[in-house]
Chain A
Amino acid sequence: MKKWNLVIDVAECHNCNNCFLSVKDEYVGNDIPGYCAPQPPHGHKWINILARERGRAPMVDAAYVPTTCNHCDAAPCIEAGRGAVKKRKDGIVLIDPEAAKGRRDLLAACPYGAIWWNEERSLPQAWPFDAHLLDRGWSTPRPAQSCPTGAFQALKISDAEMAQKASVEGLQTLRPELGTKPRVYYRNLHRYTKLFAGGTVLAAAGGIIDCLAGARVALVRDGLVIAAVDTDAFGDFKFDRLEPESGVYEIRVTHGDHRLVPVSFEMHRESVVLQDIVLDLR
């Protein structure tokens, strides 16, 4: 049995908002009996793009994570809905626009905050995966259709194939510890959830300071080298996927015969951009 899944690549999302806009376009002003009541013109974010910056100028990056109804296989909203929320055979979760009237409690049931309250219609609403279009033969839902980078992909494959894919490609779901079994998977989620440490290596020679390319930079923890990179043409290096509050690290820079006194830092809840490291080449 093939079922729908989403695979969203955080590194490829550049926040163009086409997914968000295509969903607004599809549901604002459109009543789709059996699937979904109209979305209010403003206020709802059925695709909600979370944003997070890491680092500080000039070593900084921003990650965008489009979130939406996870169409969970063990959806708390289905349990709480007592018939108002249904799971389709193809994996899609639908909030029944009739049966769910007045059920504001469903918002609290969703641990992801993906259900929105339609005040005018007294209705909980979430993105129904464009199920009405898929049922009419569309090959993909609209957010995937309008995504320019391919960051937002919808796949109709068996659960076994999806599990295999997630395992091989290192895909993650949001808050798996909740046991809700989301059908929305993320690639490169570390850009949002993990931290980096980086810096610039310079070298002084003959009174001139230059960026030092090709210096070996090792990341050391508890005396063990856990990662190593070479600096680029600008002397920059970066270690990503570090855990928040993961303690003290050391940076050791080597280049040719030169070795620098290690620099240490402690990883708290923000990425670390180190002071410029200047090697004296003499």
Chain B
Amino acid sequence: MRFSLILWCLPWAFRLYAWRSTKIRALMAARDFTAQVIVKDGSRGRWFRFAAGRLISGAGGCADAEVTLRFKTAALGARILIHLTSGMFQFAWPVLKRFLDPMEVISAAKNFAFEVLGPDELTVQFTDILNAMLTHGWRQGAPAGNGETRYVNQTNGGPVFVYVKDGRIVRITPMEFAADDPDPWVIEARGRKFSPPRRATLSPHGLASKSLVYSPKRLLHPMRRVDWDPKGARNPQNRGKSGYVRISWDEALDIAAGEIKRIRREHGHGAILNSHGSHHTWGNIGYYLSAQARFMNAIGHTRMVLNPDSWEGWYWGAMHHYGNSMRMGGAEPYGQLEDALQHAELIVFWSSDPESTCGSYAAFEGTIRRQWARQLGIKMVHIDPYLNPTANWLGGKWIAPVPGTSPALALAIAYVWISEGLYDREYIDKRTTGFDKYRAYVLGNSDGTPKSPEWQASETGVAAPIVRALAREWGSKRTYLSCGGKGVAFGGANRSATGAQWARAMVCLMTMQGLGKPGINFGNLGTGAPVDLEFYFPGYAEGGISGDIEGTADAVQNYQRLAHLISMNTITQRVPRLRIPEAILHGATEGYPTDSRSLEGQFQKFNYPSPGHSPVRMMYKYGGSHFGTTMESGRLADALRSENLEFVLNQSIWNEGEARFADLILPACTNFERADISEWAASGGYVHHNHNQMNHRVITLQHKCIEPLGESKSDYQIFLELAKRLGLSSYFGEGKTELLWCREIYLSSDLAKAISWKKFLRKGYYVVPPETKAANRSKTSWRWFAEGRKKDLPEPAPLPAEYGGDYLQGLQTQSGLFEFESSSLKRYGEDPQRPPLNTYIPAWEGRRTVALYARYPLQLISPHPRFSFHTQSDGKEGAINDIADHRVLRDGHYYWIARLNPADARARGIAHHDLIKLYNERGAVICAAALTERLLPGVVHAYSSSAEYEPAGEADGTPDIGGCINILTPKRHMTEKTSASAPNSCLIEVQKWQRGATGP
């Protein structure tokens, strides 16, 4: 009865909405077709015929209906129809939600008790009409005066207000909170009260967003390479050289879907490789781990394995001493802000530049806290070959070791501590194993070489008195160690030949000082803010709508929260990201996985191709350029030109990097041109509770601020269009638009308890009230371990089976103690460059590789970039190009900057802002020289991750003028039995360059 009643109402609803909305009227007039909604046994139902924009409807089924929604029972049909249309009845939601179970739709779909049948074109047409009715009248954004509407969006560098007028973005600003947003947290320390301002900070790359939306390099139409014919000559050798012809979306999608089917039929399992960046434009739906993973799993693909490229040394090294595999070896990030403000006397920044790299996605949230630390008189030391912006701004002692030699410096610090008794013996006795062996090695008892300050000087170039002074300061003060940009991992020295040694040395040093005791911890005040961590909103790595329980962190919470179908890639063949060129060119390679479940997951070597699988014949590339982040980048160009690849598809926003090597280009839009939902910096996955970097948790509805530019489409829409051509649209989209998925995610989170959908839609953001009660704030990292208690931090890691003794008691190591001699590496025993005891092994490329050093006497370091986010927001003729410290305009071209000491420049006749060629046997890159005393002689600094890859001449091997520094860096792995990148071990030579000059 209820079912029939709802069906009887539907035609009236159709007519009502058609009358109220021209958009819905147009949708209903777009195609003539008949749909029916019926019960499986045909006993009840109703048909709807759309003809010339008019609707005729009648009771019962209709034999020639093209679209059928079929329910097993009328009762089920009634409940699902109410659920699917509940968005229309916002006023009744508080009552309705008590009767509805979102999971019922999913269960019914999985059991085929609820089916959508018919040609995909028409089923999507029917749900489009329904969805347009559902979302009709949903008002978004706030009037901002002057004819502008203020929308909300989110970037990799912070949340933003977006002011739009007449369909065009006027400005994008950082967010300032309204009077009804909650007051921030307060921390009391040393007689003072600290509280952050009522606003969100924003990174430069976020602030430049408008210039990137309207970049002249936007791809606005689907394009086919002129000399690539899917039915004829494919000319793979011309990829990156030949031009493009504009084609229609229909043609492009037909080609893409046709090739997907052809390649699967002709070559079999595994022939499609999905390649994507490790980041994307922000959002929980349009993200690579969300819509993309769902689609790629649905078509089956050889998976690209991302190496943990910001955590290398921590993952492959440090975690074997102290666990934390679920954080890729990074340290626990809880409670350190309050602890540091209250107790720390010294912060040692070691390869750590948070003012440039902004933690992870955290903009300048930590900046004011570091100012507080300075006001409190907390002393600072900065160890970095470059006087980085954080060091220059905060002040304090700058110590500049020779790149790659920091592990030797660390050993000498340990030597002073042991020699002078400046370490925590009780902690060592109670909480660690293997210290005797470590001490014997440090003192030289086991190998005859005391690792004294004098010994290290010949490696690091740091004078022995400075090392002794540092060791004594550190050993006598309560000290925080900030390693990498986030303070608890990320970037810098861990991405070199000695990266694992360095990260291992860092955890050994902190353990000697009593890690977890008051004022003794990892961090730079960037993490551990007392926000409410319990308020649930999914981070992007929880997979959004992907349903990918294997490839994302969906299983952690999202799977139980969000009503969504799971997806699963049935193809087990994998390619390590940094070996894609070898896989394509040579047909064989190997790798070690990024598997965070255990310490041992990384030892499970895998080979490509997998037994019984096809080699890769098609590449589906998605997102930003890989050239800028692939060591020996030129390999990638060679691979893309290989005839082994029959089809290269690129779905990209901008015409940059690999897009110019594609056979077919599908133009995607930015996050400002589609709807999404997300939380600032909430990543989930490897960085659980990443939002405790923030001064305020900011959850946003990412409004669709403007229509997609040109013919570009959202990634979700592109995948849906392809899915239509593969018969997958109902499975892929579950009948939802992106905005309806936003509502599902809203409903799956604690937002639904805190703010109405209507208000959230309008306002666009919600600030989670902070933890005000001290008892509810998370405890300080490692305190539990220091005090010998069970772990009391709010992270569900390590997994239960990882404990040797009682659950939550001790570390993830075999002994449960900190292991100076790692039992997991001892058991593995197969990587001589990663011995169980962390011994100093000079870099395989550096000053000790004498013959190479004689030819290439400069060490190149290439840290994460300051103004761009990896390749995002660099190039593209955007605003970042104009930053004086990012690129230099010479002869109409924006050159990447390479920094070098004036003495090195003088010796080569180079003046400030001269164009110079950086080169070695791997290639050559043209940069603008910046002469600086912030580097010692012998070291060159150029950020990594240029978005541009522009070989200057036609012939291969000519210098790049895009600034693609990784052309120069080695593809060699950190140690033999890892897939770790090591770009900071790189020797080069530099010379003055003039346009037209030939290569080395």
Name A residues whose Cβ lies closer than 8 Å to a Cβ of B: 12, 14-18, 20-22, 24-26, 28-30, 41-43, 45, 49, 51, 53, 55-62, 136-137, 142, 145-146, 148-150, 202, 209-211, 213, 232-236
Contact = CB atoms under 8 A, between A and B. Distances in A.
Nearest to B939: A57
Given A43-B882, A58-B399, A233-B472, A211 B465 contact: yes
Interface string B364-388: 1001100100000001000000010
B940 interface: no
Contacts of A56: 933
Contacts of A24: 208, 211, 879, 882
A159 B885 CA distance: 36
Nearest to A19: B207
Nearest to B397: A234
A236 B884 CA distance: 32
A98 B470 CA distance: 62
Contacts of B355: 14, 16
B878 to A, nearest CB: 9
Q: With a 10 A CB-CB cut-off, give which of A136, A146, A236 has the most chain B CB atoms.
A: A146
A17 B885 contact: yes
A198 to B, nearest CB: 12
Interface in B497-512: none
A17 B883 contact: yes
Nearest to B931: A53
Given A15-B389, A148-B367, A55 B207 contact: no
Given A25-B171, A45-B884, 8 more contacts: A15-B885, A42-B881, A57-B934, A57-B936, A58-B398, A62-B934, A149-B364, A149-B371
B393 interface: yes
Given A14-B393, A60-B387, A148-B367, A136 B398 contact: no
List the 6 closest A-B pairs by CB distance, nearest first: A148-B364, A14-B393, A211-B469, A21-B207, A60-B933, A56-B933
Contacts of A20: 882-883
Contacts of B371: 12, 149-150
Contacts of B920: none
Q: With a 10 A CB-CB cut-off, give which of A30, A53, A234 has the most chain B CB atoms.
A: A234
7 contacts: A21-B883, A25-B207, A45-B884, A146-B202, A211-B469, A233-B379, A236-B397
A222 B202 CA distance: 51
A202 B465 contact: yes
A28 B207 CA distance: 13
Interface string B865-897: 001000000000101111111100100000000
B465 A16 contact: no
A150 B170 CA distance: 25
A53 B934 contact: yes
Contact of B884 (A30, A49, A146, A232): A49
Contacts of B468: 210-211
Interface stretch (B58-66, B172-180, B554-562, B597-605): B172-180
Nearest to B199: A145
A21 B208 contact: yes
A108 to B, nearest CB: 23
B616 interface: no
Given A14-B355, A60-B387, A210-B469, A146 B145 contact: no
Contacts of B400: 57-58
B34 interface: no
B204 A41 contact: no
A234 B882 contact: no
B473 interface: yes
A28 B400 CA distance: 41
B346 to A, nearest CB: 9
Contacts of A57: 387, 400, 901, 933-936
B257 interface: no
Q: With a 10 A CB-CB cut-off, give which of A42, A43, A209 has the most chain B CB atoms.
A: A42
B392 interface: yes
Contacts of A59: 398
B974 to A, nearest CB: 28
A49 B882 CA distance: 12
B861 interface: no
Nearest to B395: A61
A199 to B, nearest CB: 14
B867 A148 contact: no
Given A51-B884, A233-B469, A21 B933 contact: no
B943 to A, nearest CB: 14
Contacts of B889: 42-43
Contact of B202 (A18, A41, A58, A62): A18
B392 A62 contact: yes
Contacts of B472: 233
Contact of A30 (B171, B173, B879, B880): B171
A232 B881 contact: no
B146 interface: yes
B934 A51 contact: no
Interface in B445-477: 464-466, 468-470, 472-473
A60 B934 contact: yes
B411 interface: no
A15 B879 CA distance: 15
Nearest to A13: B393
Nearest to B170: A30
A26 B280 CA distance: 25
Contacts of B885: 15, 17, 51
B146 A16 contact: no
Contacts of B397: 232-234, 236
A58 B402 CA distance: 13
B936 A58 contact: yes
Given A57-B400, A62-B392, A62-B934, A25 B204 contact: no
Nearest to A148: B364
Nearest to A142: B173
A25 B211 contact: yes
B205 to A, nearest CB: 9
Contact of A234 (B145, B202, B208, B466): B466
A267 to B, nearest CB: 18
A41 B882 CA distance: 9
Given A56-B933, A233-B469, A236-B397, A22 B207 contact: yes
Q: With a 10 A CB-CB cut-off, give which of A25, A61, A150, A210 has the most chain B CB atoms.
A: A25
B363 interface: yes
Nearest to A17: B883
A53 to B, nearest CB: 6
A95 B782 CA distance: 59
B264 interface: no
B473 A233 contact: yes
Nearest to A202: B465
B934 A136 contact: no
A145 B879 CA distance: 18
Q: With a 10 A CB-CB cut-off, give which of A17, A22, A57 has the most chain B CB atoms.
A: A57
Contact of B174 (A42, A45, A145): A145
Contacts of A55: 933
Nearest to B882: A42
B693 interface: no
Contacts of A62: 387, 392, 934
A29 B469 contact: no
B882 A148 contact: no
